[in-house]
Structure 1
Amino acid sequence: MRFEEPVLLYGAGKEALSTRAFLKARQPDLKVFVAVDSGSADIPDTEQIAIDDLPAAIHGHRFGLIVKSPGVSRYKPIFSIAAAAGIPVTSNLNLWGAAYRHGHTLIAITGTKGKSTTATLTHLMLVHSGLDAGLAGNVGLAPLDIADSHALIVLELSSYQTADMNFLPDIAAITNLYPEHVDWHGSVERYYADKLHLIDREGSFAVALGAAARGNALVARAVRDHRRLLRDLTPEEDLAIEHAAAHSRLRGAHNLDNARLAAQIALGAGGTLDGILKGIAAFRPLPHRLEEHVFGGVTVVNDSISTTPEATKAALAAYPGRRIALIAGGHERQQDYAELAGLLAQRGVTILVTLPVTGERLAQAAAGLNADIAIIQAPDLDSAIGALKLRRDRFDTIILSPGAPSYNQFKNFEERGARFVARCRDVFGAG
């Protein structure tokens, strides 16, 4: 792979740094530009082009390729301008495919929720089966950073990455499919199509589906040929996995489904049942995904990665028998909270504290259905935790599971989750 013209990096995050390092190693003298929608780009050995100057730079053909970061929507008008000028747009993932795909067994996992847990479990199961497996993608390393360092590679992919993925995996998996990321994709329908692009293609690759994906008509159509599907677990395998999950740090029925899907994938890739069970035992919860703490006798659950109502429902179901204070709400993506509102009381919620902007809709929906639930509309996360301190007798567990993105008040879900844990530690004590 050689680049005959300068390259533009659009975006300056983890993948852009990875791409710059890849280009530097391949062609040390290659001219590389960078553009970001706001702020400055701290990418070494690059020249920044201001966003306002980008159309002119495209028309002037100052570069011959754009490598787009995942967070930059492929539907931005600037990419139509690039296409008209004959300048292709690619990604860190597609550069990995061109450079390293050949000669490796590739497992690609996506889905609205559960993909990070499923990918992590699959990797652990393969490693404990004695296989040379690596993990990259939307979790951990950027694709180019893992290069060709393992015989078998597990990639966890977001819809931003699957949308224009131009090579095929050996095994593709879908955990589930719910509305999400409408602001990036432009519509729910386009989100579904971009997510399902992982499997909705011709090819002889195998497909594995999570429990929630199996009953989805869109997923069924995307599978095309159902002979692609990996075999189901046997009753004996399923029972062994259920037993292992019950004695692991996996919490909730949704995570048992993730373990089953991971096991199906691992078996399809040459893993063993013994390795699968050892992988489950070795699993540790990922940050901000039902991440559990105890402060002053209060169980504090950081589920900040929850950006859909379905994820919040799963979080509540993972704590049966608890008296729960739920903190929910965030950036508006026009998601439907009616079903979640109707489940709050039966899931043990005694206090609902809502945050702007979506929290207002959740509070309104819950008010008419849950007379015994105290509903508090807080302006921000600190105020929400302060309000709970005054009502300590009403709950034993606090769950931050917003069911919405964080962008209106935080940079990302990681910042939101870290703030939640730190404030709960301050307010409720570390005893």
Structure 2
Amino acid sequence: MRFEEPVLLYGAGREALSSRAFLKARQPDLKVYVTVDSGTADIPDTELIAATDLPAAIAARRFGLIIKSPGVSRYKPIFEAARNAAIPVTSNLNLWGASFRHDRTVIAITGTKGKSTTATLTHLMLTRSGIDAGLAGNVGLAPLEITDKHAVVVFELSSYQTADMNFLPDVAALTNLYPEHVDWHGSVERYYADKLHLIDRDGGFAVALGTAAKGNALVARAVRDHRRLLPDLTAEVSIAVENAVAGSRLRGAHNLDNALLAAQITLGVGGTLDGIMQGIAAFRPLPHRLEEHRIGDHVIVNDSIATTPEATKAALAAYPGRRIALIAGGHERGQDYTELAGLLVSRGVTTLVTLPVTGTRLAQATRVLNTDILVIEAPDLDHAISALSNQKTRFDTLILSPGAPSYNQFRNFEERGARFVELCRVRFAQGVTRDQPAPGQ
């Protein structure tokens, strides 16, 4: 692959850095520009083009290709202007496909929730089966960083990446499908279509579906030919996986579903049952996903990665029999919190603290039900933890599971989760100088 004209990187995150390194290795003298909508464009060996100057740069054809970062919506009008000027728009993932796809088994895993855990489990199960496998995408490496000749590459892909993925996997897996990322895609319908683009294509690749995906009519249509579906696990294997999960750090019914899907994929590409068992045993919870700490007398759960109401429901279901204080709310994406509010009492929630902007709707929906739940609306996370520190006897488990993105108050969910744990250490330590592992960790 050779680039005959300068290239524009749109976005300046991890993928943009790996795209720049890829271009530098291929063509050291290639002219590379960078554009960002906000923040800094700290990419080595690039020249900045301000977003406001892009239309003129396109008209002057200062570059012949745009490599778009996943967080930049492909539906921005500027990309239509680029295509009209015969300037193609591609991605880090598609460049990997063009350069490194050949002679590899590619497993691509997506879904509204559970995709990171499923991809991580699949990778563990494969490597414990003795298969040379790499992990990339939103977990592990950026696609263009996984250039070693692994026999199998497991990609965990967001809807941003599946939307314009232009090469076929050998196995495409979908955990579930719920409304999400409407601000990026423009509508729920478009989100569904972009997510399902992973499987809704011609080709002889295999398809694996999680429990929730199997009952979805949109998914069934996207599969097209149900002969594509990988064989179901036998009853014996399913029981073995369930028993292994029960003794592992995978908490909650949703994580059992993730493990079953990972096992199905693993067996479908030549893994072993022993490798599956070892992979489950080796799994460690991903940061900010049901990440437990024992601080003072309370179990503190950092589930900051939960950006949908469905993810928050799963988090609550993972702690049966607990008296729970829930912190929820964040950036607005037009999601419905009515069903979540109706589940709070049955999931053991005694105290609800909500954050702007979506927290207002969750608080209102909860108050309408006239339950005994104490509802507190806080302006930010610091005030939320401060309020809860005065209500410690109402709960034994504190869960941050926002059910919304973080962008209105934090740069990302990692920053939100880290701040949550830091505040809890200060307010809930009760003489403990550092947090201790929660039971089972």
Q: Aligned-pair distance for 1:311?
A: 0.5
Deviation readout 1:362-387 (Å, 9 max, x if unpaired): 01101122421111111111111111
**Counterpart amino acid of 1:185?**
H
One-letter code of the match for 1:263? A
Q: Structure 1: which 5+ runs fail to align?
A: none
For these two proteins, the number of residue pairs brought into alignment is 431
Alignment of 1:120-139 (within 5 A): 120-139=120-139
User: What secondary structure is seen at the aligned counterpart in 2 of 1:350?
Assistant: strand
One-letter amino acid of the structure 2 residue matched with residue 138 of structure 1: N
Q: Counterpart of 1:279? A: 279
Alignment-derived partner of residue 233 in structure 2:
233
Identity %: 80
1:133 and 1:205 mapped to 2: Cα distance? 18
Two-structure CA RMSD over aligned residues (Å) = 0.7
Q: Which residue of 2 aligns with 1:422?
A: 422
Conserved? CA contact 1:385–1:423, under 8 Å = yes
Q: Aligned-pair distance for 1:53? A: 1.1
Alpha-carbon deviations, 1:97-151, whole Å to 9, x = none?
0000010000000000000000000000000000000000111210000014311
The Cα shift of 1:63 comes to 0.6
Q: Give 1:21-32 correspondences, 5 Å limit.
A: 21-32=21-32
Aligned to 1:251: 251
Hey, which bits of structure 1, 4+ residues long, moved more than 6 A?
none
Instruction: Indicate conservation of the 8 Å contact 1:345/1:370, yes or no.
Output: no
1:181 counterpart letter in structure 2: H
DSSP 3-state at the match of 1:299? strand
Tell me if structure 1 keeps the 8 A contact 2:7–2:31: yes
Q: Report the TM-score, using the length of structure 2 for normalisation.
A: 0.97
Q: CA–CA distance in 1 between the matches of 2:120 and 2:339?
A: 30
SS of aligned partner of 1:249: coil
The residue that corresponds to 2:196 in the other structure is 196
Counterpart of 2:406, as a letter, is S
Alpha-carbon deviations, 1:13-60, whole Å to 9, x = none?
Answer: 000000000000001111111111123311111111111111111111
Report if the CA contact (8 A) 2:345-2:371 is conserved: no
Counterpart amino acid of 1:64?
G
In the alignment, structure 2 segments of 5+ residues that lack a partner are 434-441
In the alignment, which residue of structure 2 is the partner of 1:266? 266
Amino acid aligned to 1:149: K
Alignment of 1:391-402 (within 5 A): 391-402=391-402
Residue 437 of structure 2 is matched in structure 1 by none
Residue 301 of structure 1 contacts residue 397 of structure 1 at CA under 8 Å; is this kept in 2?
yes
Give CA-to-partner distance per residue, 1:214-270, whole Å, 9 cap, x none: 000000000000000000000000000000000000000000000000000000011
SS at match of 2:270: coil
Question: What residue is the counterpart of 1:405 in the other structure?
Answer: 405
Shift of 1:297: 1.5
The match for 1:72 is: 72
Report the 3-state secondary structure (helix = DSSP H, G, I; strand = E; otherwise coil) of the residue aligned with 1:154.
strand
AA in 2 matched with 1:53: D
Aligned amino acid, residue 329 of structure 2 = G
One-letter amino acid of the structure 2 residue matched with residue 342 of structure 1: G
Mapping 1:42-191, distance limit 5 Å? 42-191=42-191
Instruction: Establish whether residue 334 from structure 1 lines up as the match of residue 309 from structure 2.
Output: no
Taking structure 1 as the reference length, what is the TM-score of the superposition? Answer: 0.99
Give the letter for the 2:198 counterpart.
L
Counterparts of 2:4 and 2:331 in 1: how far apart (Å)?
42
**In 1: Cα distance, 2:353 partner to 2:253 partner:** 25
Is 1:343 matched up with 2:351?
no
SS of aligned partner of 2:325: strand
Amino acid at match of 1:377: E
SS of the aligned residue for 2:409 comes to coil
Q: Which amino acid aligns with 1:71?
A: G
Contact 1:7 1:32 in 2 (8 A): yes
In 2, Cα distance between the equivalents of 1:360 and 1:60?
47
Which residue type is aligned with residue 290 of structure 1? L
Q: What do residues 327-369 of structure 1 show as CA deviations (whole Å, max 9, x unaligned)?
A: 0001111111111100100100000001111111001101122
Aligned to 2:439: none
Question: Equivalents in 1 of 2:244, 2:316: separation in Å?
Answer: 22
Determine the C-alpha separation between the residues in 1 that align with 2:129 and 2:304: 32
CA distance in 1, matches of 2:357, 2:60: 43
1:13 corresponds to which letter in structure 2?
G
What is the distance in 1 between the residues matched to 2:24 and 2:407? 33
